[in-house]
């Protein structure tokens, strides 16, 4: 009997080993482990793929500040909240190059350009593309976070030399609507797909400490870990509570629970860079050390995040020296 070869429609994605690999139950089981066991497993996983004492440094710059039409409840740059952030137009190319040169001289290996847009217009993308090319020519890895991307925009950035695009899912699917109403999480997944399709590496994570439950944290990690492929870079932010935002007075996260979240990210996304991102000013050195032990191997380095203060470079240098952590971009085995 003649059997016709099975024709797979080109629009149907090929089966993937990663899709649906993790369940919320499996991630919750990780969270429920005794702390020492969880950290040991995370550290073992970490050592299979990364040098245990290496840390990568990224520096952020806000290339367009404030006046954003979106209503992300955590964000000091939303036009809807009175936070005292002073709006600023898109930075000039020379200013960005200057900031990137300084970041490089200070030891950063990745430079991330953030803009307070819902998403860029095509003419904005052309300008950011010029910045990307100029920053890349300094020998830095490039990252941009510009909001939702329309068709074709990721390709323009890729052609300019963009290495990473940061776009976070922020929280669980269930908690999301408590935080943001002007864009859905699906909108974010669409942008992430555009980034992947253009061949740009994905930097995607979220924020902890926004009043979410452990189930929410597990759901967020599952969404990240089941991306196909999972993000190359996973920023885990501790909410920076900014006066004037709806999240200014939310109860903070238990530090041990935060460390557990880092460990769950490391175990479920073994080869990703896990970045201990915003919110380090509220963390003790000991908490940060636990995060590094749990598998975080990157931080934002420099006095400022986008609009809020970061841990100081001086304090970080001291902390890395105390812990024997060696900054550099060569962190993978």
The catalytic residues are 68, 72, 75, 112, 143, 203, 275
Contact predicate 272/230, CB 8 Å: yes
Nearer residue to ligand DTB within complex by CB, 22 or 165? 165
Distances (CA, A) of 25 to 28, 127, 215, 275, 281: 5, 45, 9, 24, 32
226 belongs to the binding site for ligand DTB (CB under 6 A): no
Please select the residue that binds ligand SAM; options are 59, 109, 142, 168, rule is CB under 6 A: 168
111 belongs to the binding site for ligand SAM (CB under 6 A): no
Nearer residue to ligand SAM within complex by CB, 239 or 262? 239
Buried b (16+ CB within 10 A) or exposed e, 184-209: ebebbeebbebbbebebbbbbbbbbb
Please select the residue that binds ligand DTB; options are 45, 109, 168, 185, rule is CB under 6 A: 168
Please select the residue that binds ligand DTB; options are 166, 233, 268, 298, rule is CB under 6 A: 166
68 belongs to the binding site for ligand SF4 (CB under 6 A): yes
CA nearest neighbour of 327 among 308, 306, 290, 299: 299
What part of residues 14-53 is at the interface with ligand SAM (CB under 6 A)?
A: none
Q: Where are the beta strands (DSSP E) in the chain?
A: 54-64, 110-115, 141-145, 164-166, 201-203, 206-208, 233-238, 273-276, 298-300, 326-327
Contact predicate 279/239, CB 8 Å: yes
Strand, coil or helix: what is 153?
helix
Contact predicate 259/294, CB 8 Å: yes
Give the span between the Cα atoms of 125 and 200, in whole angstroms: 15
Nearer residue to ligand SF4 within complex by CB, 120 or 295? 120
Please select the residue that binds ligand SF4; options are 55, 57, 63, 75, rule is CB under 6 A: 75
**Measured from the CB of residue 209, what is the shortest distance to ligand SAM in angstroms?**
8
Nearer residue to ligand DTB within complex by CB, 38 or 225? 225
Contact predicate 280/238, CB 8 Å: yes
**Angle between helix 122-136 and helix 93-105 axes, rounded to 10 deg:** 40
Q: For 301, how many CA atoms within 13 A lie in the half-sphere containing its CB?
A: 28
What part of residues 131-150 is at the interface with ligand DTB (CB under 6 A)?
A: 145
114 belongs to the binding site for ligand DTB (CB under 6 A): yes
Please select the residue that binds ligand SAM; options are 75, 113, 132, 325, rule is CB under 6 A: 75
204 belongs to the binding site for ligand SAM (CB under 6 A): no
- Fill in the per-residue mask, 288 to 307: x = in contact with ligand SAM (CB under 6 A), - = not in contact: ------------------x-
Interface with ligand SF4 (CB under 6 A)? 68, 70, 72, 75, 77-78, 116, 118, 147
Interface with ligand SAM (CB under 6 A)? 68, 74-75, 114, 116-117, 145, 147, 167-168, 170, 207, 237, 239-240, 242, 278-279, 306
């Amino acid at each position: 009997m003649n059997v016709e070869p099975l024709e797979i429609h080109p629009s149907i994605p090929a089966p993937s080993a990663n899709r649906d690999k993790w369940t919320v139950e499996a991630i919750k089981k990780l969270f429920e482990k005794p702390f020492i066991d969880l950290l040991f497993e995370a550290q073992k996983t970490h050592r299979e793929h990364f040098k245990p004492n290496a840390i990568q440094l990224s520096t952020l710059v806000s290339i367009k500040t404030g006046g954003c039409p979106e209503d992300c409840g955590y964000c000091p740059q939303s036009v809807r909240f009175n936070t005292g952030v002073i709006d600023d137009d898109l930075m000039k190319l020379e200013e960005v190059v200057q900031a990137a040169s300084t970041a490089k001289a200070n030891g950063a290996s990745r430079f991330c350009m953030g803009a307070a847009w819902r998403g860029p217009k095509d003419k904005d993308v052309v300008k950011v593309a010029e910045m990307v090319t100029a920053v890349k020519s300094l020998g830095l890895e490039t990252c941009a976070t510009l909001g939702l991307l329309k068709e074709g925009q990721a390709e323009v950035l890729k052609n300019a030399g963009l290495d990473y695009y940061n776009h976070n899912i922020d929280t669980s699917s269930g908690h999301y609507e408590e935080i943001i109403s002007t864009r859905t999480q699906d909108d974010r997944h669409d942008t992430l797909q555009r980034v992947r399709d253009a061949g740009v590496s994905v930097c995607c994570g979220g924020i902890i400490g926004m009043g979410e439950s452990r189930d929410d944290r597990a759901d967020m990690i599952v969404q990240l870990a089941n991306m196909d492929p999972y993000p190359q870079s996973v920023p885990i932010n501790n909410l920076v509570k900014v006066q004037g935002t709806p999240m200014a007075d939310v109860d903070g996260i238990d530090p041990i629970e935060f460390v557990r979240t880092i460990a769950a990210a490391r175990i479920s996304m073994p080869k990703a860079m896990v970045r201990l991102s915003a919110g380090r000013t509220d963390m003790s050195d000991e908490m940060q050390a636990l995060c590094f032990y749990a598998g975080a191997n990157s931080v934002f380095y420099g006095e400022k995040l986008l609009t809020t203060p970061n841990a100081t470079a001086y304090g970080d240098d001291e902390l890395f020296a105390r812990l024997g952590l060696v900054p550099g971009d060569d962190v993978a085995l």
